[in-house]
Amino acid sequence: MTTSAHPTEAQNAALLSRLDNLEPGKPHRRLMLMGGLGYTFDSFDGALMGYALSALIIIWHIPSETGGWLLSSIFFGYLVGALVAGVLADRFGRRKLMMSSLLIFCVCSLLMGTANSLPELFVWRALAGVGIGAETALIAPYISEFLPARVRGKFVTRTVGFLAFGYILAGVVAPLVISPNPAVGWRIAAVLCALPVVLLLWWRRKLPESPRYLLSKGRNAEAAAVVENMERESGVNPAVDSPDAVDTVTDPPQSSPSVTSRRGVLAPLAGLWRGGLARTTIVIWLLWFILIGVNYGFSSWLPTLLVLEKGITLTNSFLIALITSLAQIPGYYVASLLIDKMERKWLLAIYALGATGGAVVVAFADNTPVLVLGSALLAAFTNGAAGVYYTYTAELYPTEVRATAMGAASAVGRLGAIFAPIAIGYLFARIGWVNVFLVLVGALVLAVAVVVLFGARTSGRSLNESVPAGH
């Protein structure tokens, strides 16, 4: 065991090398399950309450323009939560922020069920969004910091793929809870959305802090302890006796403060525009804005549009939404198979093109089977793309600003999620179903052009590398 109180850069690199060379096993699968369940409850809430609010728009005769604002309420909170959590997680740690975010979400979801007016419902829904937006933004970069480059894409994509299970669960619950009596059912749905509070009991005991984050803060002994525990769980003897092992007894008493600490809590935001990262940040923000905007704009309005435009019953509209949710599973699964075999940017372009095709089919569908097919294609490709761009974004930035970068990108994506349902509400009232989906097609074509022309290459690179856009 080393006895130096001042671990060198070489020793820190050796510790990260042990982390990168560790064969994926039990601790990695547990982290994927823990993060995946977080995503499951996030999408369950988004879908179930989307169904509930769609029902309220119909039974309360809320105008489509006002309905768009109500459906977008959670995304105002997402925007704040994602941005603030990323900055704070790069300063205070991933674990602490993830647990705090989950608690905020659960409490506000319960309070949302007590709302008796549209303004009150909007406020509690937005505050719940602060918690869920923060948690969603942190899971992918957190998981990525434990994974070796050779399997990072597959593991992160499959973790993000747990979102599909939440949508499916919501599709099953909505007809059972909301359809029989929407006036009461939406309140029951709000209470059900608070159930992930049970995750806190597990996360509190089993969720480790990221060793990459710990090293970036000079907390070397804690980082070494996390890596050694993962080695033991994987059946590997911790390399404590190797000459390049990091000291596990004492942290450096005068470790140099990080750039973030010296410059203040908002320094990581400025870091997204330095060192060749400006173009990367612009590209990522455009991708998140378009792809999340199209996804949430479509999914949040689908039940309502099916009832108002196609004359389908509310219960049947929920069933069609369930079918489109099931289509997400192959979308995520195929992405997880391909992501470590081809360049991320090209896979993103392929998925955006697939989503474009789905939107065209939906726009011109003249019967229910074709409409379901188009909706399934759109859901499979827009959601499958999420697994890719979550992985892609985490790889583009260094550890010191990684959570901030993910939070900022997620916040910009939530701007798209806010804008799209509102815009669809206004556009539907003025230009109709077909033209609304042609607008979505145009947005997806733009996303393809952006990623093909300006996207960076990241496949197989270490997380320690800062990758300027276009390289």
- Look at residue 470 and tell me whether its pLDDT is greater than 60: no
Could you say which DSSP state residue 264 is in? -
What is residue 215's predicted lDDT score, i.e. its pLDDT? 87
49-53, 109-113, 310-314: range with highest mean pLDDT: 109-113
- Span 283-289, mean pLDDT? 90
Q: How many whole angstroms separate alpha carbon 211 and alpha carbon 229?
A: 11
- Span 263-289, mean pLDDT? 78
What is residue 404's predicted lDDT score, i.e. its pLDDT? 83
- % of the chain beyond a pLDDT of 70: 85
What are 212-261's pLDDT values in tens digits? 888 888 888 898 899 999 888 887 877 554 434 444 333 333 333 343 44
Residue 170's alpha-carbon distances to 57, 67, 83, 257, 283, in angstroms, are 18, 20, 27, 46, 33
Neighbour count for residue 165 (Cβ, 10 Å): 20
What is residue 304's predicted lDDT score, i.e. its pLDDT? 66
- Look at residue 320 and tell me whether its pLDDT is greater than 80: no
- Span 394-401, mean pLDDT? 80
123-127, 238-242, 314-318, 441-445: range with highest mean pLDDT: 123-127
- Look at residue 285 and tell me whether its pLDDT is greater than 80: yes
Q: Tell the CATH superfamily of the 23-232+266-454 domain.
A: MFS general substrate transporter like domains (1.20.1250.20)
Q: How many whole angstroms separate alpha carbon 405 and alpha carbon 403?
A: 5
Q: How many whole angstroms separate alpha carbon 162 and alpha carbon 242?
A: 39
What are 162-208's pLDDT values in tens digits? 888 888 888 888 888 887 888 888 889 888 988 877 777 777 778 88
Domain boundaries along the sequence of the chain: 23-232+266-454
Q: Which residue has the higher pLDDT, 270 or 194?
A: 194
Q: How many whole angstroms separate alpha carbon 417 and alpha carbon 424?
A: 11
Q: How many whole angstroms separate alpha carbon 76 and alpha carbon 301?
A: 17
Angle CA 214–220–224, to nearest 5: 95
Q: Which amino acid is at 181?
A: N
Q: Which of 70-79, 308-317, 318-327, 360-369 has the lowest mean pLDDT?
A: 308-317
CB 98 within 8 A of CB 81: no
What is residue 254's predicted lDDT score, i.e. its pLDDT? 33
Kindly report whether the global pTM for this prediction surpasses the value 0.75.
Answer: no
